[in-house]
Amino acid sequence: MEGNKIMKPNYYKLIEDCIATGTSLGYARAHKHEDTPERVVLEEKIIAAIMEQVNENFVFDTLP
């Protein structure tokens, strides 16, 4: 084996996936009961779904 190699995540790709998945989920949720949801509802659903994806994929520690 050629020395020790360190594996680290591609954070850009992980965040991109969270945003893409969250956008798709939020859009679908906003249209679940409304064919044409108000813009503010659409934005709220998308933002909430993106943050759910971020919270599922990242752990946030509090600083001392």
User: What is the rounded CA–CA span in Å between residue 31 and residue 46?
Assistant: 11
> How many other CB atoms are found less than 10 A from the CB of residue 59?
5
**pTM for this structure?**
0.83
Helices 11-30, 39-57: crossing angle, 10 deg rounding: 140
State how many domains the chain has: 1
Alpha-helix runs per DSSP H in 1-64? 11-30, 39-57
Determine, yes or no, domain membership for 20: yes
Instruction: Spell out the per-residue pLDDT of the chain, length 64, in tens.
Output: 577 899 999 999 999 999 999 999 999 999 999 999 999 999 999 999 999 999 999 998 888 7
User: What is the rounded CA–CA span in Å between residue 15 and residue 11?
Assistant: 6
Determine, yes or no, domain membership for 25: yes
Q: Which two tokens stand for residue 36?
A: 């044409």
Structural domain boundaries, residue 33: 11-57
- Give the pLDDT of residue 53: 97
Determine, yes or no, domain membership for 37: yes
